[in-house]
A and B are shown apart, each in its own frame.
Chain A
Amino acid sequence: MKKIQQYLNNQLSEREDDQVTRVLLSNYYDSALQQRWEQQLSEKYGLDAPQKTKTKVRSLPKRLVAVAATFLLFLSAYQLNNYFQKTTPNELVAMHLSNKEPHTNNRKSLESMDVEDARNAAINTYVQEDHKSSIDYYNIVLSSNDNTIDDYYYQGLNYLYSEQPEAAIKTLKEALKKPILPTDKTRSYETIHWYLGLAYLKVEDTASAIIELKTIKVDKKELVEELLEALEFDKNSK
């Protein structure tokens, strides 16, 4: 009840507010659409949705035996002890991607130049975590000749945060081709190699991910070492 009150009084964070609105509207529109389809199919073809069948309930002794057997199976597996202690590469990737990189570019005042407007809007929407909109704005910037390593870098992050790792890989590779100018905020190519590594892991291309991670010598060194170790352990335990 407290959360719903906070939602109705605009006291949730923008992200939570957005999530709640999406769930409320999705649930409503999905139910309405499903009802409409079922009605149409019923009218046109005489098809009716299947009746609910009662699920079989196993007896308590049988359930207990099943639970005990499963427990013993896991207990006798030698590797399981190590598995629970080690964080898997996928968990590490998910953890690193949940800590989002802040956008450090300065927001410029709205000029009459289209590319600047688009870049400004791209930064604004990135900061608001509206990555889908940010992607569209950055596409306008990247289609012009006036784009920088920062534009490619943040576009790559946009794709990564909106679960489009293939597009992220393509964009971050383009970023690596751009020079780092004194006016750019991207500190080094190593940061780009880091996110490229994470993107490769998202598409399960471990070999390419390791190549990217091993390129890094200074930036995020401890995180790189941890991830490489987890990948090595994962490989050996298969």
Chain B
Amino acid sequence: MSAPAFNLQSIYPVASSKRKSMSDKNFGLTEDEFNRMLKALKQGDDSLFEHIYLFHYENCVKYLVKFRGATRDLAYRATMKALLETRKELIQDKLVYNNLNFLFTNKAGKKLGKIRSLKKERMTMSSIEGMDFKDSSSFLEELQTKEINECVSKALQELEQKEIAKAEKLRKAGKKSPLEKCSELLKLHFYENLSYPKIVRIYHSDATDAEVITKADTLSKKVNRTCLKHLKLLLKGCLKGVFDN
């Protein structure tokens, strides 16, 4: 017997009227509420996602199970992936208050399709006798494993600790440490997909356009020459161990 499903009815009753208001189409939020929570999200407060998860998760999973033939586990994974991608798109201002319920469910459907096609590819490849799965799968897919994740986690933690130690040293010497930390820059540019000018505006909101251009250029060089170099050095030993096993 599988584990019981989420019981969200007691927290968020589902709207029964056929004619939906704008807030019904947008996770039960008015435009003001949504914009306020979006602003908080950009400052690191994930309350919007707690709300989306509680309001829309069950509907989304039900849709995927009923209309796309997914198991609950697959539906959960697809919905979670959609949630993570939606968060990034909201931070990048790629989504606006319009019909977010539909967009989200649609996205979850696409994620489900992708999970299934990856699964099928792996099953097909592994069932062909004598064929080494690793030779034929995409290199980028191979990077998404638990062991590599642990290496990245270790490397980022070490990078952060080194930066804290360096900042302390500079402080003791009476010098200022740079505002922009490598661990943050790597996350903002490579994970949240923000361009360098946008990153500059986060750290220096009152910079002029000319200053933004110069600082963005400096940031880009710092990320490429310093931050990535350190990250790769820290990753070297750990990743070698993963691929040797």
Measured CB to CB, the residues of A under 8 A from B are 1, 3-4, 7-8, 10, 17-34, 36-37, 40-41, 44-45, 47-53, 55, 114, 117-118, 121, 130, 132-133, 135-137, 140
Contacts and interface: CB of A to CB of B under 8 A. Distances in A.
Interface in B134-169: 139-140, 143-144, 148-149, 152-153, 156
A53 B71 contact: yes
Contact of A21 (B73, B153, B190, B209): B190
A133 B216 contact: yes
Contacts of B171: none
B170 interface: no
Contacts of B213: 114, 117-118, 121, 137, 140
Interface string B29-72: 00000000000000000100110011000000000000000011
Contacts of A25: 152, 186-187, 190-191
| SS class, residues of chain B in contact with chain A | helix
Contact of A10 (B71, B232, B235): B232
B228 interface: yes
A23 B148 CA distance: 11
Contacts of B125: none
Interface string B189-202: 01101011110000
Contacts of B186: 21, 25
Nearest to B200: A136
Contacts of B239: 4, 8
Nearest to A34: B80
Given A34-B80, A37-B53, A22 B190 contact: yes
Contacts of B209: 114, 118, 140
B198 A136 contact: yes
A114 B198 contact: no
| SS class, residues of chain A in contact with chain B | helix
Given A37-B46, A48-B3, 19 more contacts: A1-B243, A17-B228, A18-B190, A20-B140, A21-B231, A22-B190, A22-B191, A24-B235, A27-B143, A30-B81, A32-B153, A34-B84, A51-B73, A52-B73, A53-B2, A132-B193, A136-B195, A136-B216, A137-B197
Contacts of B148: 24, 27
A50 B190 contact: no
Contacts of A8: 232, 235-236, 239
B210 A117 contact: yes
Nearest to A135: B195
A4 B239 CA distance: 8
Number of chain B interface residues as a range: 35 or more
Contacts of A22: 190-191
Nearest to A3: B139
A3 to B, nearest CB: 5
B15 interface: no
Interface of B: 2-3, 5-6, 11, 46, 49-50, 53-54, 71-73, 76, 80-81, 83-84, 87, 139-140, 143-144, 148-149, 152-153, 156, 186-187, 190-191, 193, 195-198, 209-210, 213-214, 216-217, 220, 228, 231-232, 235-236, 239, 243
Listed residue (A10, A36, A44, A50) with the most chain B CB atoms within 10 angstroms of its CB = A50
A118 B140 CA distance: 34
Contacts of A27: 143-144, 148-149, 152
Contact of A133 (B2, B46, B191, B195): B195
B156 A28 contact: yes
Given A8-B235, A20-B140, A117-B213, A41 B149 contact: no
A37 B50 contact: yes
A50 B143 contact: no
A133 B196 contact: yes
Contact of B143 (A24, A37, A48): A24
| CB-CB nearest 10 A-B residue pairs | A51-B3, A136-B197, A28-B152, A132-B195, A133-B195, A1-B243, A25-B190, A114-B210, A29-B191, A25-B191
29 contacts: A19-B140, A22-B190, A23-B140, A24-B152, A24-B235, A25-B152, A25-B190, A25-B191, A26-B190, A30-B84, A33-B84, A37-B49, A45-B54, A48-B3, A50-B3, A50-B72, A51-B2, A51-B73, A53-B2, A53-B73, A114-B209, A114-B213, A117-B210, A118-B213, A130-B195, A133-B195, A133-B196, A136-B195, A137-B213
